[in-house]
Amino acid sequence: MNNEIEEAPLSTTAERRAVTQVAGVAPGQEWAIVARGLKREYDMGGEIVRALRGVDIAVRRNEYVAIMGPSGSGKSTLMNLIGCLDTPDAGEYWLNGTLVSDMSDDQLAHVRNKEIGFVFQTFNLLPRSTALQNVELPLVYAGVGSEERRARAKEALERVELGERMDHRPNELSGGQRQRVAIARALVNRPAILLADEPTGNLDSRTSEDIMRVFSGLSDHGQTVIMVTHEPDIAAHARRVIVLRDGVVETDERKETFHERLTAFGSSVVG
């Protein structure tokens, strides 16, 4: 299609600079995510589907970003790339200052373990394990000893106000509680980004609001949150909304707080 669309609109100068600089230098610790020219194609029975056709994104630490777009816009593909579940065919992806786009499967597994907390639409808890055991799981793969694991998993469950239901299995919990367990599991290894894929897709509107409050609270405490959703009222909770269409970024809008504007200004002056 139109080649000009691949020149993605970036909202601030600093972001533009971050993205253009990645080719030369590693982005600083200020950026949770810097992605440049991400492309991903799938072979669907002989037909090549170009799911992402050159996406540039820069997400600062502590940002709360929603990624929207109609189905087929490439938002799931982008989420998989951001979540290090997949690698791009072209382009560079820096996560928390590390180039991850060329990593091997096992290296990616390590990055997922350390840097990314997943929250899924279908919660994806292990059905036979208790809430506590589910939350402990990332720590198991991180090689944390059982006592520390237990303590940290408890703490994470208490953060999502599920301290009393630790020994319940997923089928003994409500949808909202399950998603809270999933959030606790995502947070337990102190990841760089919390990556949520339609986190309220299987919840009623009241529970959805509840979960959104949890996300806002985490964001207020400095957690970088990236959320993929197709519901505008859910996306409205985020402070920045990136809309994808046909494999490229269509719009990237932010509701900047005064503080954020100030730091953005500061960094653009200093940088």
Partner 1 sequence: MRFYEAVRLALSMIRVQKLKSFFTLLGVMIGVMFLIAVVSIVEGMGHYMQDDLMGKLIPINTFNLRQTPNVTLGGVDRATWQEWQRRPRIKEEDIAPVLAALSPGTRAAVVSQDNLMVESRYVPKPKQVDASNVTAPWFDIKKMGVTEGRVFTAQEDALGAPVVVIGTDVASYFFPSVDPIGRELKVGHIPYTVIGIAESQGSVFGISLDKFIVAPYNSPLKRLTNRHGVIDGIMIQSSDETTMLANEDAVRSVMRTRRKLLPQQKDNFVLETSDQDLEFWNKIKGYLVVAGIALPAIGLVVGAIVIMNIMLVAVAERTAEIGVRKALGARRQDILAQFLVESATLSTLGSAIGVVCGIGISAIIASVSPLPTHVALWSIVVSVMLGAGVGIAAGVYPASRAALLDPITALRAE
Q: Compare residues 141 and 265 and give the one whose CB is closer to partner 1.
A: 141
Question: String of b and e for 11-44 (b: at least 16 CB within 10 Å)?
Answer: bbebbebbbebbeeeebeebbbbbbbbbbbbeee
Question: If we measure between CA atoms, which residue out of 13, 82, 45, 36 comes closest to residue 228?
Answer: 82
Helix (H) or strand (E) holding 72: none
CA angle at residue 242 from 250 to 209, to 5 degrees? 140
CB 74 within 8 A of CB 67: no
Q: Compare residues 135 and 264 and give the one whose CB is closer to partner 1.
A: 135
CB of 73 to partner 1, least distance (A): 17
Tokens at residue 30, please?
A: 């200020």
CB of 12 to partner 1, least distance (A): 31
CB of 105 to partner 1, least distance (A): 6
CB of 76 to partner 1, least distance (A): 9
Map tokens 């402070």 to a residue. 239
CB of 126 to partner 1, least distance (A): 6
Burial class (CB within 10 angstroms; exposed 0-12, middle 13-18, buried 19+) of 221? exposed
Question: If we measure between CA atoms, which residue out of 121, 112, 96, 102 comes closest to residue 196?
Answer: 121
Which spans of this chain sit near partner 1 (rule: CB under 8 A)?
80, 83, 85-86, 105-106, 109-110, 112-114, 118, 120, 122, 124-126, 128, 137-138, 140-143, 185, 189
